[in-house]
Structures are given as C-alpha cells and as structure tokens.
Amino acid sequence: MAGGRKREFDEHIALQRAMEVFWRKGYTAASLSDLTQEMGINKTSMYSAFGNKEALFMKAARHYLETEMHAHFAHLRTPDATLGKRLHDYMCSVVRMQAATSQPRGCLLVLCQSEVAAGDLPQEAQALLESEDHMAREMFATLFAHDPESIALGLNTSADANALTVYSVLKGTAAMARSGVPADELEAVIVTTLRGIGLVTLR
C-alpha cells in the first residue's frame, strides 16, 4: 500500500513564520488567512501538520521559547561574574532581541499575555502563558533568594520584590521596543534599575 503524500513544504520554516505572525499581531488578531498566507500553505495543510489555530499557537510559543529566549539564560550562569553583571548581560541580551528590526519587535509572550485578562485566549494557551509568566518571576526570586552575593548584600530579604522589579522592567522594555525605542536607550533603563536595587553592573 502506497504511503501518504509527501508534504511539499518545510514544517520548520512554516512554524517559524507562524511564530512571527503571532509575534506581530498577538493570538486574537492573527487570522487563519494571515497565518496560512505567511506560512505559504493552505488551511488543509496547516490543519494536517499543526492542528487548529490554538495548537499552532502552542507550537509557535514553544518554538519561540526554544529559539528566542533560552539562549539568554546562559548570561545568568557566567562563571566568576558578579550578580549585577550577570543580570545586566541577561537583561540587555533580552532587550536587544526585543528591539531587533530583523524580526517582530517586543516579546511574543508579553504581547499575548496582555490578551489573557480579556479572556480572548483558549484555555490551554492561557495556561501556557500564565505558567511562563509565573516561572519567570520564580526564576528571578530564586536567584535573589539563594545567590551568595545577593545574600551578602541583603537582597535576599526582598527577593520577591526584586524579582518583580526585574521582570516588570523586561515587560516594560518589550512594550517600549515594540513602539520603536532603540536598544541602547532601553539598556540605560536596565543599568538604572539594577543600581536602584543595589547592584553594580560592570564587572
């Protein structure tokens, strides 16, 4: 018995393009026509390869995490660097991604998280976004609570507040980058923020 018909498109490229549509427009505003036109496939092929719009979004969001976000975490693990330097380099790396003109500006997750409050997202997509939101804050809170330098500086006593400060700034830079503010201006905000917490950023 003959096998199924071979797909005539690259699924990785199609998923990358779908991610960029969601990144530009958010979940609600990204229509099936927007998605299939950008992906270069018809709706039948999209459903066959990726499922419905929600399933495609879930795959695109995870693709975004893997290809756009995970690499930044290496800055937080730089050996022999101060906490301020590690946070500075991590946050500036994120900001440069947010402000890059080679892709949609801002942050896909932050953009779509703004749709959660309106109740416009399907339940599974909402759960993914809320989970990533929670994990980001927990990551920073854990860093401030347990990093030896943070403890020595007494920053661990306000770990949750410091985590919220850092995360709020990154959400804010996503919005500012989306409106066209360049990375160098946003990086200055990061330096001011970290100094306000009590961290030196240059070593």
> Would you state the pLDDT for residue 7?
58
Domains defined along the chain, listed by start: 11-60 (1.10.10.60), 65-197 (1.10.357)
Angle between helices 53-64 and 32-39 (to 10 degrees): 60
> pLDDT tens-digit profile of 10-57?
999 999 999 999 999 999 999 999 999 999 999 999 999 999 999 999
> Would you state the pLDDT for residue 117?
80
Which pTM was predicted? Answer: 0.91
Q: Is the confidence at residue 2, as pLDDT, over 50? A: no
The answer to whether 110 and 174 have CB atoms below 8 angstroms apart is yes
Q: Is the confidence at residue 112, as pLDDT, over 70? A: yes
Could you give the C-alpha distances from 99 to 32, 46, 92, 173, 177, in angstroms and in order?
27, 30, 10, 9, 5
Average pLDDT, the chain: 93
